[in-house]
Chains A and B, each alone.
Chain A
Amino acid sequence: MKQQIDQDILLQQARDGNSRSFNQLVKLHQSRVYSVALRLLGSQSEAEDVLQETFIALYQNLHHFRGGSKLATYLFRLATNFSLMKLRRSKRRGSDSSPLSLNVIEELPDKAASPLESLLSSEFRAVLDQQLQKLPAKDRAVVVLRDIEGLDGWQVAKILGLTLPAMKSKLHRSREFLRKNLSGYLKDS
């Protein structure tokens, strides 16, 4: 609650032209915005582009943003839309800027390792990201926003321009896809 009030004050100050307050807002949200973009795009340089586009858009629209929706949700919407646009463009170009320029391993890690150990390993985190990148862009966005970022169903549906049932259906389909692809690993615990 206090954080929300602080953010409202920062927003007002930023609207009044206080650049320090705007920078503070950026600092509060920059990592989450970058994280969402990176998980959606799978490329650091493209995620950086989206990060910049998102905060420039915020800067340019400060006077229109009334705080009706939370700032975090607004930024997620911008970052998600910019990322999906990038993905659509690269698909049209037929470029394979596709994911995991993140140098991810091709195979699941050694199944002999216990999942708990693996859970902590960066290799396993990379595998989770790798499987995520195999989902169609919008399905991936549903998982990133709902499961990783912890937004509620309504927020995710709104950000992606989906009805709630459509969002739920995508979420279930995506989770099932990920479960299936990770199942060899999950069984061993």
Chain B
Amino acid sequence: MPKIISKKADHHCRRMTAAFSEYLDKDLRKQLCRKLEIHLTGCSDCRMYFDTLKRTVTLYRSLEQETLPKDTEKRLFATIKLARSKGKK
């Protein structure tokens, strides 16, 4: 959470940070987007918070699919074959 200076700012920033995720997902209403963007230009703590949040999400989005090991695939098809033969009985 961004570092907070006053109680009033604390409340305001907390409400803003709760919306950052939706903003990143382009899920936020236009009016709220504008409000958030204005807040970000004036609040360096929130800007830093937003920047690191965005990069965290980007990193997870860039994770590649795990490779299926060949042996695992072989065992999968053997299991399917077994289920098929049981189903036929």
Contacts and interface: CB of A to CB of B under 8 A. Distances in A.
A76 interface: no
B84 A32 contact: no
B77 A56 contact: no
Contact of B72 (A39, A51, A60, A143): A51
Contact of A128 (B49, B52, B59, B68): B59
A148 B53 CA distance: 15
- Contact residues of A: prevailing secondary structure: helix
B22 interface: yes
Interface in B13-57: 17-18, 20-22, 25, 27, 49, 52-53, 55-57
- Contact residues of B: prevailing secondary structure: helix
Interface residues of B, number: 35
A51 B79 CA distance: 10
Contacts of B65: 31-32, 35
Given A56-B79, A125-B63, 6 more contacts: A30-B68, A52-B76, A56-B83, A119-B62, A179-B52, A179-B53
12 contacts: A31-B67, A35-B66, A48-B75, A56-B83, A59-B83, A132-B60, A147-B60, A168-B27, A172-B20, A179-B52, A182-B52, A186-B55
Interface of A: 19, 22-23, 26, 30-32, 34-35, 38-39, 44, 48, 51-52, 55-56, 59-60, 115, 119, 125, 128-129, 132, 143, 147-148, 150, 153, 168, 171-172, 175-176, 178-179, 182-183, 186-187, 189
